[in-house]
Structure 1
Amino acid sequence: MGTDSRERMVRSAVYLFRERGYSGTGFRDVIAHSGAPRGSIYHHFPDGKAQLAEEAVRYAGEFLNAGILAATEGGDAASAVDAFVGWWRQVLIKSGFRAGCPIVAVTVESNDDAPQLAAAAAAAFDRWQDTLATGLGNAGVPDDRAARLARLIVAAVEGATILCRAHRDVAPLDDVVKELKFYCADLGVGR
C-alpha cells in the first residue's frame, strides 16, 4: 500500500469531485476509479473522506497553479489569462460539460463538520491569485491593483466555468476571457 496508490486515489478524487461533486463521490467510487486495493483507502486516509478531499483540493490547486506560474513567467498578462482559461475550456469540452472545478465542488458542499475543506479551498484560490498577481506585477501593474485584478480573474473564470456547465457551451468562458484581455490591454499590461 505505497504512495503510488495514495496518489492515484487523490487524483481519482479530483476527477470524480469535478464531475460528481463532493457529496456525490464515495470511497467506493474512488477505489473503483483508481484501481487501488480496497483496504488502502482507510490506511491512507484514516480521518475519512474529509482528509481525502482536503488532499484532493491541495493537489488540484497545485496542479493548476503550476500552469498559471508557467504562463505568467513571460510577463504577458493576456497569455496568463489565456493559459488559465484554456485549461478550463479543454476540461469542459472533453467532459461534455460534466466536469467543473473540483475545488469549487468541495467548497460549495463543505460544511461545519469539516472546516478544513473550506480552508484548503481558500488556500488554493489564494495561491492562484498570488501567482497571477505576481505575473501582473511583473507586467507593470502596481501591486495593490495586481492583487485585485488577480482576484477578479479567478472569480470571473470560476464563475464562467459554472455558467458553461449550466449552458453546456463555452461561450460564457470565451466572453469572460475576451473582456479580461481587453481590460488588461486598457491597463497597458503585456504590451
Structure 2
Amino acid sequence: MIAGAADLMSRRGVNATSMRDVVRHTATPRGSISHHFPDGKPQLIAEAVTFAGRQVSIPLEKAMNERGVIGGLKAFIASWRRQLEATGFEAGCPVLAVAVDRYVGEPSDKDDAAAQQHLLDLAEGVFADWRRIMLAALLREGLAAERAERLATLIVASIEGTVAMCRASRSADALDQVQEELEIVLATALACTKNRLETRNGLIPATRTRPSARRFASRGPATERPRRTAGPTGCGHGVPSRADGGRRTRLGCRRLEDRGHEVGAPASASHLRADLWAGVRAPDQELAR
C-alpha cells in the first residue's frame, strides 16, 4: 500500500491520491488500510514520502561509493530516465509532488495545516539526505566543504527540475543535456582539486615562468636596449609627427612645447603619458577646432 501510494503520488500528485484510489490501485481490502494507517491519509502519504526517499537514497549511496561522483551521477540520472520511459513520462518524483502540492485531506481529517507542515518537513529531509550522499562523495574526491555543498545542491535541484520538464515535454532530451553539463562541471571541479593537491604535495611546480616574462627576459636589461631616436620632424617619441605652418599638430609634442620641453630631445614614457592624459582631459581651443 505504501509503494502504491508513492506510485500514485508520482503520477497524480498528493491531492488526487485518495485512500480509495490506493485500495483500488493496490487491490487490497478496504479494512486493511484503516488497520495499518489509523491516522488516515496523512499517515499513508508520510509513509509513502519516506519510502520514496529510501528508494532513491539507497542505490544512490551505493553507486557513489562504488563508482565515484561522476559514475554515481550517471547511475542516478539513468534511474530517473528508466522510470520516465517505463511509465510513458507519466510518473515523476513523489517527493517533489509533496513539495509543490498543498495538502487537502479526507473529510474526516482534522488539521490539514499541521499535516501539510509535517509532509513538507519530510520532503525537506529526503532532499537533504540526497544532498548529504552527494556531499560525502564530493568530499571523498577532495573538494572543499563549501564547494562540495554547493555542487551537491546543484545536482539534486537540477535533476528534480529536469524530471518535471521531461514529463511536460514527453522526452528525455532535457535530462541528457543536464547530465552532460553536470558532468563537465564536476570534471572541472575535480581537475582543479587534483592540481591543487599535487601542487601542495610538490608533485608539480608551484609557480611557472609566464611566456611573456620569458620573452621580455630575452631582450636583455633595459640599459642595453637602444633608445628611441627622434622622428624626421624632431619629435622625441620616435614616431614622425606632422608640421602645419610651423605648428606641431601631434598632441604629445604640442603639450611638451607648452610645458617648456625641448621637442627635439628624447622624452620619457612617464612624461608622455602625463602630457597625453592632460591633453585628453583639458584640450585647448585650438585642439578643439
The TM-score normalised by the length of structure 1 is: 0.91
1:139 paired to 2:141: yes
SS in 1 for 2:66: coil
1:101 equivalent in alignment to 2:93? yes
Q: Greater relative contact order: 1 or 2 (C-alpha under 8 angstroms, separation 6 or more)?
A: 1
Give the aligned partner of residue 178 of structure 2. Answer: 176
Counterparts of 1:35-74 in structure 2 under 5 Å?
35-74=27-66
* Matching residue of 1:120: 122
Per-residue deviation, residues 38-90 of structure 1 (Å, max 9, x unmatched) = 11111111111111111100011011001110111036211111111111111
Q: 1: distance between equivalents of 2:66 and 2:151?
A: 18
Q: What letter corresponds to residue 6 of structure 2 in structure 1?
A: V
Query: What corresponds to 2:207 in structure 1?
Result: none
Partner of 2:153: 151
Report what 2:224 is aligned to: none
Q: Take 1:28 and 1:102, find their aligned partners in 2: how far apart are those partners? A: 18
Structure 1 residues not aligned, in runs of 5+:
1-8
**1:3 alignment counterpart:** none
Task: Please list the CA deviations of residues 77-121 of structure 1 after superposition, one character each: whole Å capped at 9, or x if unmatched.
Answer: 111111111111111111111100011112211343411100000
Structure 2 Cα separation of the partners of residues 186 and 128 of structure 1: 22
Distance 1:73 1:110 in 2: 36
Any gaps of 5 or more consecutive residues in structure 2? 104-112, 195-289
Pick aligned residue for 1:13 from 5, 21, 24: 5
The answer to whether the 8 A contact 1:75-1:139 is kept is no
Determine which structure has the larger helix proportion and give its number. 1
User: 1:123 and 1:73 mapped to 2: Cα distance?
Assistant: 21
Whether 1:83 aligns to 2:72 is: no
In 1: Cα distance, 2:178 partner to 2:20 partner: 37
Normalising to structure 2: TM-score of the pair? 0.61
Deviates most, 181-190 or 113-122: 181-190
State yes or no: 1:32 paired with 2:24: yes
CA RMSD of aligned residues (A): 1.6
